[in-house]
Amino acid sequence: MVSYKSTSPLTIKIHRRDRSYFDLYEYCLAFRMDEMSCVREMEHDRIDRMINHRNDWRQRSPNFGGSWASRRGQITEEQRANCHAMLDFLQAQQNYKITVSGDWGYVYTSDLGLIRTIEQLPYVHAVSVKRSVLDRPRDTLRIQNSQHEFRSYFRAQRLDEPQRHNLVDFLIKQESIRLGPGLAQFIEQDQKHYYVSENFFIDHDGMGIVTMLSLLLPRITRKTVKLIRDK
């Protein structure tokens, strides 16, 4: 077995926030594990079905992805056993939340002992540990040299051509707002793209523009925070 076991605990990084993780948890551990996404449904039968499906697909499509295919070959029995071991471990724990994205897992908990235990699992490659530290009121964002009062983030979605045209036309006429870098590129690029990312934002004063945006495209914004000028 290839072991990722570290010799010492990871250094805890401070993550300054306006709330705890999911309003409950103090710590977040990010780690990698081969085929971690097979554990997402938290069912042993599901792990086996997904692994069997992936192995069948990879065998039938050996050239898919070019060089990627050589790095993602057949899932071994050791990797299968590791997925089952991880599920057994997680099901025995309490007071935590886990999210999964590909080979990445993120465990949220207020139990530092649980974090340290997961770090030492032989099939886990622990990457980082963060501790949420509340340093500002809820629904606020600390920023340097802000000229505006609020920041509104967009909701991730794909627009059609009329929707994109209407949004771009509306935003370029708003001289009093600041466009976030991603949103500015979305508007200015020569080759049109239609996917709005959740990191797109505008800085503005007052909530009138949010209301106008919602009339133009319902649910286009997902949250608004108050900006605090960092001294």
Give the tens place of pLDDT for each residue, 134-167.
Answer: 989 999 998 888 899 999 999 999 999 999 999 9
53, with CB counted inside 10 A (0-12, 13-18, 19+), is exposed
Q: How many residues are listed for the chain in this entry?
A: 231
User: 120 and 17: one domain?
Assistant: yes
Is residue 5, in this structure, part of any structural domain at all? Answer: no
Coil, helix or strand for 198? coil
Q: How many domains does the chain have?
A: 2
What per-residue confidence (pLDDT) applies to 189? 80
**Is residue 199 in a domain?**
yes
- Give me 4's structure tokens: 């990722």
Answer yes or no: is 7 within a domain. Answer: no
Q: Taking 50 as the threshold, does the pLDDT of residue 19 lie above it?
A: yes
Give the tokens for residue 78.
Answer: 């050791």
| Residues 134-149: b if buried by 16+ CB within 10 A, e if exposed | eebeeeebeeeebeee
Q: Check the CA dihedral 96-99-100-106 and report its sign.
A: negative
Range of the domain at 34: 12-134
pLDDT interval class at 2 (50, 70, 90): very low
* Residue-wise pLDDT tens digits, 53-86: 999 998 887 655 555 444 578 999 999 999 999 9
Question: Within this chain, do residues 150 and 99 fall inside the same structural domain, yes or no?
Answer: no
Residues 23 and 119 in one domain: yes
Per-residue confidence (pLDDT) for residue 36, from 0 to 100: 97
- For residues 123 and 153, state if they share a domain: no
Tell me what pLDDT residue 69 has: 46
* pLDDT for res 60: 82
- 90 and 154 housed in the same domain: no
